[in-house]
């Protein structure tokens, strides 16, 4: 098919670039810390099976253990009680995993205010400049938080009053979930909701409204500054974990240079 051979030529010639939006996955990957009495997820870990030794002379391999919601990952509708009748991560149609993506950049605002919240007005102003949000595509929310991902303390940014990381205002989450044509929202932070969102009304509104509407989430994305405001194609690849609420994912973007 000519469109695919054209794509391969563009990749080979460098006029289409593959941008990796995935954070490296290791023991050091920051993990969300919910306040008591809530249970928390485990960190990613490798356990060596053999490494060219008595246990396997010619091969190296590991077992892994991880939470579903660790590092760059995909939130499926069943992750939230509002989406409990929705699909698990194995049931997300492959067709939905290749989709357009646009970027709203609030990194300057978030540098001044770690509790910055995206509002309906911000998204409407973006649309006045750049056009409608993509039908069946991702809204990627650039906050600059990925630059902190190498330091779990700065990334989670918690003090005695709890975590302070940017997110969406409850009204904006409801509006995006119920009226926007988007497939989901992608963020740089440890969750699609703000650090303080446990105290919002409703609690964790981005999870509640988006997943309740059958939409998806992508968390802890990297390299969003390398994407154009509009025009990227995003490929998200969560593992098809049967009954899974989400999965670590490799997330790639195709970008015209
Ligand atoms: C469980 C409870 C609250 C949150 C989360 C998970 C996540 O951010 C997640 O990774 O889905 S805010
Ligand atoms: Mn998640």
pLDDT tens digits for 135-178? 999 999 999 999 999 999 999 999 999 999 999 999 999 999 99
Q: Is 50 exposed, middle or buried (0-12, 13-18, 19+ CB in 10 A)?
A: middle
Residue whose Cα lies nearest atom 7 of ligand 1: it is 191
pLDDT of 157: 98
Beta strands at 16-20 and 246-256: parallel, antiparallel or unpaired: antiparallel
Question: Among residues 245, 248, 247, which one has the least CA distance to residue 82?
Answer: 245
Cα 59 to ligand 1 centre (Å): 37
In the structure, what pLDDT confidence band is assigned to residue 218 with cuts at 50, 70 and 90? Answer: very high
pLDDT band at 35 (very low <50, low <70, confident <90, very high): confident
**Which tokens in the block code for residue 231?**
């025009």
Cα(243)–Cα(80) distance, rounded to whole angstroms?
A: 13
Query: Which residues have CB less than 5 Å away from ligand 2 (the ion)?
Result: 69, 75, 246
User: For residue 236, is pLDDT > 90?
Assistant: yes
CB 235 within 8 A of CB 241: no
Q: What is the CA(196)–ligand 1 centre distance, in A? A: 12
Residues noted as catalytic: 79
**Ligand (nearest to CA of 89):** 2
Range of lowest pLDDT (35-39, 46-50, 163-167, 235-239)? 35-39
Cα of 52 to ligand 2 centre, how many Å? 36
Nearest CA to 154 out of 188, 205, 204, 123 is that of 188
- Is 235 in a helix, a strand, or coil? strand
Atom of ligand 1 nearest to the CA of 69: 10
pLDDT over 80 (residue 1): no
User: In the numeric block, which tokens belong to residue 153?
Assistant: 């303390």
Q: How far is CA 243 from CA 60, 82, 86, 101, 184, in A?
A: 30, 16, 11, 27, 20
Which residue's C-alpha comes closest to atom 12 of ligand 1?
A: 191
User: What mean pLDDT is predicted for residues 202-219?
Assistant: 98
Residue nearest to atom 8 of ligand 1 (CA): 191
The closest alpha carbon to 220, from 100, 98, 70, 91, belongs to 70
Find the mean pLDDT for residues 41-58: 98
Which residue ranges form the domains of the chain, and what is each CATH number? 17-24+68-256 (3.50.30.50)
Q: Tell me: the pLDDT tens digits for 171-199?
A: 999 999 999 999 999 999 999 999 999 99
Is 34 close to ligand 1, i.e. is its CB under 6 Å away? yes
């Amino acid at each position: 098919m000519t469109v695919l051979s054209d794509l391969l030529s563009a990749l080979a010639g460098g006029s289409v670039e593959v941008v990796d939006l995935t954070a490296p996955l290791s023991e050091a990957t920051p993990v969300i810390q919910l306040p008591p009495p809530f249970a928390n997820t485990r960190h990613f870990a490798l356990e060596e099976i053999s490494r060219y030794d008595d246990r396997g002379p010619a091969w190296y391999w590991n077992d892994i253990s991880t939470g579903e919601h660790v590092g760059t990952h995909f939130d499926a509708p069943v992750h939230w009680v509002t989406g409990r009748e929705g699909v698990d991560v194995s049931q997300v149609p492959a067709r939905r995993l290749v989709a357009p993506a646009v970027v709203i950049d609030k990194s300057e605002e978030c540098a001044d205010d770690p509790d910055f919240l995206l509002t309906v007005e911000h998204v409407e102003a973006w649309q006045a400049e750049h056009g409608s949000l993509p039908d069946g595509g991702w809204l990627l929310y650039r906050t600059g938080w990925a630059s902190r991902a190498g330091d779990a303390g700065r990334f989670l940014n918690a003090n005695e009053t709890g975590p302070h990381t940017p997110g969406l205002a409850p009204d904006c989450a409801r509006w995006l979930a119920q009226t926007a044509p988007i497939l989901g929202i992608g963020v740089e932070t440890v969750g699609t909701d703000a650090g303080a969102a446990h105290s919002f009304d409703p609690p964790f509104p981005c999870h509640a409204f988006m997943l309740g509407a059958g939409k998806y989430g992508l968390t802890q994305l990297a390299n969003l500054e390398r994407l154009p405001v509009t025009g990227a194609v995003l490929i998200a690849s969560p593992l098809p974990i049967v009954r899974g609420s989400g999965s670590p994912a490799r997330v790639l973007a195709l970008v015209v240079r």
